[in-house]
A and B are shown apart, each in its own frame.
Chain A
Amino acid sequence: MGKIIGIDLGTTNSCVAVLDGGEAKVIENAEGDRTTPSIIAYASDGETLVGQPAKRQAVTNPHNTLFAIKRLIGRQFKDDVVQKDIKMVPYKIIEADNGDAWVEVNGEKMSPPQIAAQVLMKMKKTAEDFLGQPVTEAVVTVPAYFNDSQRQATKDAGKIAGLDVKRIINEPTAAALAYGMDKKAGDSTIAVYDLGGGTFDISIIEIAETDGEHTFEVLSTNGDTFLGGEDFDLRLIDYLADEFKKESGMDLHNDPLALQRLKEAAEKAKIELSSAQSTEVNLPYITADASGPKHLVQKLTRAKFESLVEELVERTLGPLKMALADADLEVSAIDDVILVGGQTRMPLVQKKVTEFFGKEPRHDVNPDEAVAVGAAIQAGVLSGDVNDVLLLDVTPLSLGIETMGGVASMLIDKNTTIPTKKTQVFSTADDNQTAVTIHVVQGERKQAAQNKSLGRFDLSDIPPSPRGMPQIEVAFDLDANGILNVSAKDKATGKEQSIVIKASSGLSDEEIEKMVKDAEANSAEDKKFEELITARNTADGMIHATKKTLEEAGDKATDEEKDAINTAITELEEAVKGDDVAAMEAKTKALTDASGNLAQKMYAEAQAAETAAGAGAAEEGGSAENSDAVDAEFEEVQEEEKEEEK
């Protein structure tokens, strides 16, 4: 059985981890980074870029570079968050036929799961490269406040990426697992303070222990989806640019290169100030004017930086209070506070959190990776690699039906551990009513219309009788995968109706199936494309190298050899223009063979020259300069030889 990987699918960055020999290990991607920007770009030549490369080309392709897709996933177009997002992103958010928020790229409509799948595919590939075996199963984390359709949409994204998402778990739960919170005996209540790159989340979790099994319940969550570490950087950049303007009168905001350098330097300074009391931002040649180059040298103390961003840190305290109030808890009821997200490395953040909770927060797990590590541990539990943890999932929102007067009557309360089954008997509201509509809703509101409608069906042919007489038994059966089966049975006639509700992400199974196929087809195409590029590059390299050899050592070749080489070059050049990989490879081989003789000759001569130069008896006088030149030539020939061997 293959490994199950743990993926932290973040708004700004994503991270993948796997359990390796009992330890969760974060895997580096192809670029050598432990986290991957959650950015996807669709280039004009049809290529899809994910992560760092997508980020780098963003300026050239703003309309087709998608970021923060997590804010859209599983949401309706009319949703407030989506409407706010539309004003902030350069790409086009549109309303799909079913009312969902979709994105338009190159004139093509795409669903958020389809786009998020690209990130998941990259994470999958990262894991596969590391493990050396295919990966088909994953645990993916989502924010605790995600509703059913957002969770289902995340699952769909996994499916499109070729991953069977075994479990969706809450990010704070994953973080708590990474901190080993499940190892403690007895019940405890913890607060997870997650200040990431672009979002802030606070969650209050209750861990209950029964017979050594731990259940994690998210009591409440709160946060700010538009506050994160990037805002801290921005404050610092603005400050440095302002100071520079005061000194030199030049505004760095107008110079993209200077701004980019400043951005990098600001981030570095921010990180340094987490451990040092002061640092120096040193950017020579940051810009230039008529009087010559300008340098930016600025001393920065931790106190100064803290004064710049204190307001941002204060802003996290509001949601903290709200979350506690929602969970109906006093600050003193919190047993542990854990920190997640890179920005929590900042001493000021730690200090404020300590002040607020009256206890030291824990930050001994890398805050950028805690969530992915927790997901990997959960994956280990599912695959049987970890035995000492039992994690039970809970439903995040209450489930019930609409009853008289549009009231939502809940059958399954939120935070009930799943799988679970509940039945309740209802009756009719009118005399001689022969049919009832079972309208299944999800949410915490009392009014059914305010909650999310999951589906409805009718139970008819109820024998006419006074209101309140018929007994209709409604059963809710929620399985471990969050799939809800609702049935209604008229106890008098035994007639039964039921509906299976797979929390829908707004995508039908057929649509998902199609996207899965598209993704597979594209991966085949991508591979072809990669092969083509490789072949073309090899061919180009060979042409260039041979031409150079001919130029430098053409006099050593016979005319026949030269002709053969030139013909081979022309043919290869022709092949490179086309798209035929096989032809390119064949012609490359032909050219390699043709130039082989010449290279050998050169090699032999170079060796002779080397010996001559060494003896100091060469005509040139064997000066240092000359022997240098021979040396260089000698090495070049060797390179040729190596290329041939390939």
Chain B
Amino acid sequence: MSPQKRVKDSKAQKRTSQGSDSYQTNFVALEEENLNDSKCSLKHGQDNPMKDYGHVDDEAEDDLKRAMRYFEKGPVKTSQMKDKTLEKHFRTVENVAWKSGLAPEGIDILLNVALSGKFGNAVNTRILKCMIPATLVSEDSVVKAISWLCVGKCSGSTKVLFYRWLVAMFDFIDHKEQINLLYGFFFASLQDDALCPYVCHLLYLLTKKENVKPFRVRKLLSLQAKMGMQPHLQALLSLYKFFAPTLISVSLPARKKIYFKNSDNLWKTALLALRQRNQGPPPEPVKLMLGPANVRPLKRKWNSYSVIPVLNSSSYSKEYGKKGMALSDYLSSNGSFPLEQLKSFPQLLKNIHCLELPSQMGAVLNNSLLLHYINCVKDESVLLRLYHWLSQTLQEECIWYKVNNYEHGKEFASFLDTIIRAQCFLQEGFYSCETFLYKSLPLWDGLCCRSQFLQLVSWIPFSSFSEMKPLLFDHLAQLFFTSTIYFKCSVLQTLRELLQNWLLWLSTDIHMKPVMDSPLESTLSGSMNSVSELIHYVGWLSTTAVRLESNNTFLLHFILDFYEKVCDVYINYNLPLVILFPPGIFYPTLLSLDSSILNQLCYIMHRYRKNLTAAKKNEFIQKTKLQFRFSTKTYQEFNHYLMVMVGCLWTSRPFQKGLYIDHEVLEKAGVVEYKSSLNLVHHPALLSYAVSFLLQECPEERVSMSSIRGKKWNWYLDYLFSEGLQGLQLFIKSSIHRSSVPRPESINHIEH
């Protein structure tokens, strides 16, 4: 493989490929001719056919070449000239590095120079700081560089900087197998106090399951005992524990944390700018779905770069040069299947054993096939790499952390959209998004990227509610209460989706044994506790919101939508949980002026009855398994609500229990005859139906409400049902025994 090929073929480089190409040729020629740099390169330039239109470029490249040469040769002894030339060459290299990045060969040379200790400390630092790759860093250069570390020619600070560089560039290293072989060496460097945090970070990125050995665990624990609970050591330990839970018995903080500070900012800004330039037009958002249709890009909405890297597997760019290779050749020669060629699900199935994930994990977000892959692959380090990348990127891109470029809002939103698409596709939330929310929700104004943010909330993985409440839900409540009604509605909708996701997760997970020793309560009752706390929390939000917005119909709809989910938990998800709505929701909906609200309430009551009776039945059948017996309080509450509803709507005897209003007061208010004023005929939500029913019956007569009784009552009911009040129909059918003699009927209580 020649280096030119790689540079040329790498998609990202297309725009600059011409320039790099000529640089390569020059560079090779130079090595043959040795020394006398300025002269020979000039000569070469004359030979170069591209000179006519690429003169300026060529000159810059020559300069770079000369600079490389200079650095490679080492410092000149005569110190007077030295500073000047050094400075000049430095400027050349830095210019190129920050403008377009350095080719892998350039990085190779500079790494060598910086770590071999030819120059002084200051120079080494400066070299390391400008080592920005154009596309990739070759693994060989890294290995070579590490071998320099063993010689002990470079100072501690250079070493630290090198490790920081390595961590920052980790995603851009083309292979990691060789580096992983040096695991032991890195591990030994943990001893060095100054290096420890950075080496920890590197190991965190590098560790695979087979690297976790008992002796390493012992060493880490003794280090921790010596240095105290350092976040970086904790990170590594928790990773080890993740891979080999049996080896580590110490308890670590359960929550996922951000262990590593963004200390590599030195290069991050340059890399972002670089990626922006190199990437060309952003990868079009791909609709995630099964089958080959997923490669058809959607129409792009705006011109912008994306923070999500493009797929770029090293093996592909290497082999691409040999045209006309058959698929089998790929498999036999290389052992790994190039990701760029992965287009269909059958292809994925065929090659699932030999896929090599991209060096930049973020790329998988845009590729549904790879998402399938990471979903089923056993190697947890893959997910950890993805999470790590996600946390970093979310943190860096989040707009209210970079006040100055507020214009990035759109890009950030589209990035979040991509993440959400991936989460929906996998039907699970990423932990990095959860931590990101914890950190940034308190700073959120509730407006920018609202739909994305709320969707992220709805994908929070299931865990203990009481632990999450102070981190997230208290802040959400504050936003909820102080924001507009539309925000309140969208929050309620989000929480409904969250509940649904949790319930789905629990209902599929409950039948399996606990696989991981997850931090949350793994028992069923613990999980149910968490869900019921969420429901009570929403009940609290809703009750207050109804007061704040003075019984707004729109809001009530969203609240009842939530309870439509809640009332069916037992039957739909097969989970032992029935929680009724609080009175603060029940009464405003019962007395609402809107017939659809009343209808929805009736439907929910009907579903509650179904669920409660089903639970009762099961209790009788499986007498042995009584751990999830619903308390009689739930039944009592339900029966109370039922009595009130039937009393109001049907029997015209409202509020028999628990509510007493002095007769005098009623007299003063002019509503002595209040008893029938909430029945199906006079209820404010249904009055208009009654009137139009009467007009339809006998258009000529004077309308008299009280005439709806006896047979007419039944016709009226049929009229209501035909008008689309299905909930009411279900409710009356299940809760009221309609005898052939009009009234009084009996209410169907649930015995408790």
Partners in one complex: no
Residues of A with Cβ closer than 8 Å to B?
none
